[in-house]
Each structure stands twice: as structure tokens, then as C-alpha cells.
Structure 1
């Protein structure tokens, strides 16, 4: 579990995060949503330790990060997995080498053991037989699955995903969503996902934090978000014709 209490962050005279308090639950897919400029990325970077908040606290499984010694913070980072928006695979490494990279960096495993772990997680994300392929030789959806495999090969306690469906077609995006949720449940990970994709919210939004202008505007589940009367949320959710139709159908009791 990750608890965030009254988090604030400014750059110069501009306050980006304005006292956000939220809880991200273990074993669930926790989503951060909101329009561009709402503070989602800055919020995530504070949780990752890339930014230092001006005030407030971030607590990992009962441990406030601002009270951790340098060695403990270093160990915490080893317990984090990251799925980047554009996969961020190493072009010069094979699929297998990309997946093994965290094991080479953060463990003392021998090569054979690293390969066995890579093979196991590649099988889990349905990429058997692609070990020796280069990233340029596989599709965008396959690259995203390789990136997910790399993010979880080290059995992280915390998984962060930045727009994991960016650039993917709807069918492939659903595959990625389902894999993230399944692995989260299987491994009891605290997963935090930044997204603007309402299809993802509907599919896997077990807990949702909605940001507006650096503030927490709403929190709930994917079942509750379509029933809320919070106008800020409904304006965002029903900004597309698809979700306007969902709202109309709900109001008619269909």
C-alpha cells in the first residue's frame, strides 16, 4: 500500500500539487486520471522519488520515504517496477536481454538463472519464442508486453505504469490492461497507473484518483465513476460520444 498525505509541490511560483491525499491499495490496479496539466505526471514522479515534495509525506507499506536512510531508499527503488509510456526498450538488446536487465542490475543471479526468470515471465505475457528478436523486429503491442515483463521480472512490490496504452489499438490496449491487472492480482503488487483512457478505467479501474488543477477532485471505483454527480468528473468522463451514450443509457435504466 502507498499512502500520500497532503502532498504539495511547486516549481518556482507555480504550485503544481496542492495538498493531495490518497491511498493506493495493495493487490489492486490503482489509477490516476485527469486532463493534461492536472498534475498526474508530477504526482507520479514524487511517488517514484524523482522529485522531492515541498511538504506532505509518502508512505510505502508503513514507511515514510522522507524518514528513510539513503540505503533504505536505494533498496526501495529496487522494489519498484516501471512500465514507461513508450516502452523504453534498449534498441541494441534482444527481447531476452531487455527483460534480464533489472536482474543484471539489481541481483547476483547467474546468467542461467536470469535466463530462466526471463523465459518464465515472457511465457506469462505470451511472448514465447521471441527471446532473440530485437525490439525493431516485433510489433508495438509486443514491445509493450516486453516492457511489462521487464517491469515485473524482479518481483516488485510496487508497479508504476505511465500511459501503458499509449499508441496501441483498442484490442491490444485491452490485452495490456488485462495483463497488468492479472499480474497485479497474482503477485499482490501495489500497482499505480496514469491514464487518460476511459476504456482502461472501465476495464481495470479498481480504485481511481481523479486530479483537477493539482487537487484531488474525486476518488472511487470504475463502478462509481459512472454514477457520480460530481460535474468536474462527469465533464471529463463523458467528453467523448461513446461515454455520453453510456450516461444516456444509464439514465434510461437500460
Structure 2
């Protein structure tokens, strides 16, 4: 579990995060949503330890990050997996090389041990025949699966995903959502996803935090988001005609 208490972050005179408090539960997909400029990316980078908050605290299973020594912070970061928006694969490395990279960098495993682990995670993301292919030789959806395999190869406690469905067609996006959700449950990971994708919200949003102007405007589940009367949330969620129709159907059924 990740607990955030009264988190503030400013850059110069720009107050980006304004006292956010919440909990991200273990074994669940926790989503951060909000319009551009709401503070989502800064919030995610604070959770990753890339930005230090000006005020407030972040604790990981009871360990307050700011109170840890440099070596303890480094060890904690090694328990974090990250799926970047653009996959961020090394073009000059094969799929196998990309996934093996963190093991070679941060562990003392033997070559055979690393190979076994790479084989296992690639099989888990359904890429059993892609070991020797380069990123340019595989589809965008396959690249995302490689990024997920690399993120979980160190068996992390915490998994962070920044717009994992960016640039994917709807069918592939659903597959990636389902994969992240399955892995979260199977390995009991605390997963935090920064997303604009409302399909992700409705499909796997077990816990949703909606940010607006650096504040936590609302939180709840994908089942509760249909019921909220919070105008900022409804304006954001039902900005598309599809979700307006879904909400109207819900209201009619409730009445």
C-alpha cells in the first residue's frame, strides 16, 4: 500500500499539488485521472521518487520515503516497476535484451538465472517467440507488452504506468488493460496508472482519484463514478457522447 498525506509541490510560483491525501491499495488497479494541467504527471513523479514534495509525506507499506537513508531509498526504488507512455524501449537491444537490462543492472543473478526470469515474464505477457526481435520489428501493442515484462522482471511491489494505452487501437488497449489488471492481482502488486482513457477507468478502475487544479476533487471506484453528482467529474467523464449515453442509461435504470 502507498499512503499519501497532505502532499504539496511547487515549481517557482506555480503551486502544482495542493495538499493531496489518499491511499493506493495493494492488489488493486489505482487510477489517476484529470485534465491536462491537473497535476497528474507531477503527482506520479512524486510517487516514483523523481520529485521531492515540498510538504507532506509518501509512505510505502509503512516506510516514509523522506525518512529513509539514501541507500534505503535506492533499495525501495528497485521495488518499483515503471511502464512509460512511449514504452521507452532501447532500439538497439532485442526484446530479450530490453527485459534483461534491469536484472543485469541491479542484481547479481547468473546468466542462466536471468534467462529463466526473462523467459518467464515474456511468456506471461504472451511474447514467447519475440526474444530476438528488435522494437522496430514488432507492433505498438507488442512493444507495450515488452515494457510491462521489463517492469515486472524484478518482481516489484509497486507498478506505475504512465498512459499505458497511448497510441494503441481500442482492441489492443483493452488487452493491455486486462494484462495489467491480471498481473496486479496475480502478484498482489500496488499498481498506479496515470491515464486519460475512460475505457480504462470503466474496465479496471478499482480505485480512481480525480485531480483538478492540483487538488483531489473526487475519489471512488468505477462503479461509484456513475453515481457521483460532482460536476467537475461528470464534465470530465461524460465529455464524449458515448459516456453521456451510458450515464443517461444508468439514470433511467435508477429511476
Q: Distance in 2 between matches of 1:194 and 1:44?
A: 7
| Residue 59 of structure 1: aligned partner | 59
| Partner in structure 2 of residue 209 of structure 1 | 209
Q: What corresponds to 2:98 in structure 1? A: 98
What CA distance in whole angstroms lies between the structure 2 residues aligned with 1:224 and 1:105?
42
Q: Structure 1: which 5+ runs fail to align? A: none
Deviations 1:23-42 (A, max 9, x none): 00001000000000000000
Aligned counterparts of 1:88 and 1:24: Cα–Cα separation in 2: 25
Q: Secondary structure at the match of 2:191?
A: strand
1:18 Cα deviation after fit: 0.3
**Matched residues in 2 for 1:251 and 1:14: separation?**
39
The alignment of Structure 1 onto Structure 2 pairs a total of residues equal to 254
The Cα RMSD (Å) is: 0.7
Match of 1:81 in 2: 81
Q: SS at the partner of 2:253?
A: coil
Counterpart-to-counterpart distance in 2, 1:130 and 1:52: 38
TM-score (normalizing by structure 1): 0.99
TM-score, normalised via structure 2 length: 0.99
**1:107 aligned partner:** 107
Match in the other structure for 1:185: 185
Q: For each residue in 1:127-176, what CA deviation from the matched residue of structure 2 results, as whole angstroms up to 9, or x when unmatched?
A: 11110000000000000000000000110000000000000000000000
Moved over 3 A (4+): none
Q: How far did 1:106 drift?
A: 1.0
CA-CA distance at 1:237 after TM superposition: 0.4
Q: Offset of 1:113 from its aligned partner?
A: 1.1
What residue is the counterpart of 1:226 in the other structure?
226
Name the structure 2 match of 1:194: 194
Q: Return the offset for 1:250.
A: 0.9
